[in-house]
Amino acid sequence: MKVYEALNWASSFLKKNDRDENAGELLLRHHMKLDRAQLFSRMQEMMPMEMQSSFIFNVHKHVAGIPVQYLMGKEEFYGRSFFVSEEVLIPRPETEELVVGVLDRVKKHFGYGAVSDAAGEKLSVVDVGTGSGAIAITLALENSSLNVHATDIAGESLEVAMDNAEALGAEVAFLQGDLLLPFIEQDIKVDVVVSNPPYIPQKEYEGLSTVVKDFEPYRALVGGISGLEFYERFMDELPKVLKERAIVAFEVGMGQGEDVKALLEKTFPQSTVEVVLDINGKDRMVFALIG
């Protein structure tokens, strides 16, 4: 089978089975270890039989529901390649917007450059529920003056995150624990808390695509009956770890922006809280500037 024949077969087979036909190109590039331009320059070449077999096998796996990112073992985020496995949520493009929002507000809220707090110490940032480490690692690499920590309740997720930090050369301190408890227990105060917590309501979970529901970790998806469980828990814990001048940044589910804003305004009455839409016009981020 020639390369173009393999691509045409995959696109047709995926479309017939209601999967994104673009996954065929992604898997083909992965198996051939080529970028897009290289792939299209080699369309007339014959594929080695072993490579062809493994490619076809993975296309069938994707049709069965396994996300293409898990089949490739990686996903792009903020221009970098991150390892992913079924122990972590696959990073989404919308979360890149959360990172941009944090970086921008750090400069504005703490002063241009934002290299230190009022005491002259490096600004401390905590990514809660880090998963693959995409948020924490990106923040550390985009602003090397930040002192970045990341927590996750699952040791398996932290292993993936630590592998990503090592591969990308990011200085991030990882702690295992439930939400902000590792910091509360050690009486550590921080400047910025950012999180993309589980926010899908239980009733909506059953209606998710099998590609998401059957393969991505439940613990990273569902935020209780209302979807707001983790944000409500944060309201008890945030006052115990935040410094007087601080930033809170959350990713939220569609339609949750105003509810999360109300929670933050009640917890921090003197704060400025903003709901920000994503590139698709959906409420996706909530930022609180405190102090």
Residues forming the annotated binding site for substrate? 196-199
Binding site residue list: 129-133, 152, 196-199
Q: What are residue 238's phi and psi, to 5 degrees?
A: -55, -45
Rounded Cα gap, residues 205 and 210, in angstroms? 10
* CA 134 to chain CA centroid, nearest Å: 5
Q: Minimal CA–CA distance to 236: which of 286, 179, 189?
A: 179
How many other CB atoms are found less than 10 A from the CB of residue 175? 16
DSSP 46: B
Q: How many residues does the chain have?
A: 291
**Nearest CA among 134, 136, 129 for reference residue 151:** 129
**3-state class of 168 per DSSP?**
helix
Could you give the CA distance from residue 253 to residue 197 in angstroms, rounded to a whole number? Answer: 10
- Please tell me the distance from the alpha carbon of residue 56 to that of residue 230, in angstroms, as a whole number: 41
Distance CA 198, CA 228 (A): 9
**Element containing residue 257 per DSSP (H, E):** helix 257-267
Nearest to 181 by CA among 129, 224, 250: 129
Binding-site annotation, residues for S-adenosyl-L-methionine: 129-133, 152, 196
Contact (CB, 8 A) for 239 and 181: no
Distance CA 57, CA 233 (A): 43
